[in-house]
Amino acid sequence: MKLLGITSCPNGIAHTYMAAESLRKGAEELGVKIKVETQGSIGVENEFTADEIREADGIIIAADKAVEKSRFVGKKVLVTGVQDGIHKAQELIRRFETGDVPEYKGDMKSINEVKQERKDKQNPFYRHLMNGVSYMIPFVAVGGLLIALSLAIGGHPTDSGLQIPKDSVWKQIMDVGSAGFTFMVPILAGFIAMSIADRPGLAPGMIGGYIAANGSFYGSEAGAGFLGGILAGFVAGYIAKWIKSWSVPRVIQPIMPILVIPLLASIVVASLFIFVVGAPIASLMDWLTAFLNGMQGASSIILALILGAMISFDMGGPVNKVAFLFGASMIGQGNVHIMGAIAAAICVPPLGMGLATLLNKKKYEKAEQEAGKAALAMGLVGITEGAIPFAAKDPLRVIPSIMAGSMVASTIAMLGHVGNNVPHGGPIVAVLGAISHPLMYFIGIVAGVFVTALLVNTVKKNVA
């Protein structure tokens, strides 16, 4: 056991040090480690460090003078007179061994309590979303930055997008980044579910998120993206919470949280995607593809608007995929302008959100500001996913803003006859020389980025 002691007395001449000595002796006899801070007339001696306070099992305050206790919020604190320190040192120490000491709550609320209160006031839907997003952000950042770096340095423009030679070290770095991205949606879904149902929600949430992100489970070319992940997280979480409320025989109770709840909730969420959501997603993709093919004869401006909106709507989800694959297939048919418009739209969400965090820090939490910087890097190499943390946390404000920005960018690119013969987006394709009319390409991107940033900062509220 490790204890801390504070001794203090009115004049700070004698008792302070007697009590300190007595505590040290008492602790030594009981085989307990103690460090005693003396607050006497010499001043504070032997002052605790933050680490020592953190590691301590408890604090004895033997003082006849007010001692500042705010350092000890959340620790076991025994407050008594300096005489007890002198005479009852061993007794005081033993009270920590018997667990007979209350935790100091503090006159002021601790940071955690304030956070908890703030959470309780929030709409539960946002609270669960935020929990998922906060755990997802590092995965997006790690994955996105590694992919961005490897594409920027090791990527070569080809007909099938930016490719990295297989024998290049950048290929391995890219794969590490992809591993990070693979966890993105499962982590999002898992921690949404955990926020709802506590630990039993984590497994069904993550499994559900993985299924949502992988279309192969339900015969779809693309997964349901982060929006599907959010759905999976909420479904898994509420199912798990509901099963938790069942009254079950005592013998089964211990295995409920580790086996029964995760198993049943996983089956439900998996069935939901495989039998209910999966088929509509696949048919939605077919329908959208047919729709876009039918649009070819129509005004290219309208097509650009639609494609820009689709690219940003779910960033890597089915709608985005349809638009992207449509653009890629058009390159094969000799029409490089569609991909030009898409390439400009692709980088707007991450660049726009990154710029938004720089323009107004008050509207973004610390973690979001960091995610904003990562998003900027991802945007430069055309990784739309950089904006997902923002969209997942506040979909109703962020998604329309990024869609508007992408629509502006794709339209300007289309009007400027920007061509792109590499199915990839962002400034990097221009740098690599795959873009015709790069000036208009950049004007489109910059305009779209500013539209997104200004719009989202207008509709977003300040964080509390």
Partner 1 sequence: MKLTELMSKDLVDIDLKASTKNEVIDHMIEKLDQSDALKSKRKFKKAIEKREKEGSTGIGFKVAIPHGKSKAVTAPRVAFGLSRAGVDWNSVDGDNAQLVFMIAVPEESAGNEHLKILQMLSIKLMDEAFRNQLLNVQTVNEAYELLEQIG
Site membership for partner 1, residue 42 (CB under 8 A): yes
Options 28, 33, 41, 219; binder of partner 1; rule CB under 8 A: 41
Let me know: does 79 contact 101? Beta carbons within 8 Å: no
Choose between 87 and 119: whose C-beta lies nearer to partner 1: 87
Amino acid (one-letter) located at 329: S
Closest CA to 342 of 378, 307, 371: 307
| Residues 282 and 246 sit within 8 Å (Cβ to Cβ) | no
Other Cβ atoms within 10 Å of 386 Cβ, number? 32
Site string for partner 1, 43-82 (x = CB under 8 A): x--------------------x----------------x-
Stretch that binds partner 1, among 34-42, 93-101, 159-167, 236-244 (CB under 8 A): 34-42
Nearest to 205 by CA among 185, 225, 178, 220: 185
d(Cα 228, Cα 314) in Å, to the nearest integer? 9
Q: Are 308 and 339 in contact (CB under 8 A)?
A: no
Which residue of 15, 128, 321, 437 would you call a contact of partner 1, by CB under 8 A? Answer: 15
Return the closest-CA partner of residue 89 out of 139, 30, 13: 30
Task: Give min distance, CB of 16 to partner 1, in A.
Answer: 8
| Window contacting partner 1 (CB under 8 A); options: 41-49, 122-130, 175-183, 430-438 | 41-49
Q: How far apart are CA 124 and CA 117, in angstroms?
A: 13
Among residues 3, 4, 8, 16, the one that binds partner 1 under rule CB under 8 A = 16
Among 80, 83, 182, 335, binds partner 1 (CB under 8 A): 83
Looking only at residues 86 through 105 of this chain, which bind partner 1 when binding is defined by CB under 8 A? 86-87
Q: Distance of CA 288 to CAs 149, 320, 321, 332, Å? A: 33, 10, 10, 19
- Can residue 13 be called a binding residue for partner 1 (CB under 8 A)? yes
Q: In the complex, what is the shortest distance from the CB of residue 22 to partner 1, in angstroms, rounded to a whole number?
A: 5
Catalytic residue among 6, 9, 342, 418: 9
Q: Which of 5, 40, 350, 382 binds partner 1 (CB under 8 A)?
A: 40
**Is 9 labeled as catalytic in the residue annotation?**
yes
Q: Please, which residues have CB within 8 angstroms of residue 393's CB and are 6 or more apart in sequence? A: 126, 129, 130, 133, 368
Q: Out of 1, 18, 284, 432, point to the residue binding partner 1 (CB under 8 A).
A: 18
Say how many residues touch partner 1, by CB under 8 A: 23
Contact positions vs partner 1 (CB under 8 A): 9-11, 13-18, 20-22, 25, 38, 40-43, 64, 81, 83, 86-87
Which residues are catalytic, by number? 9
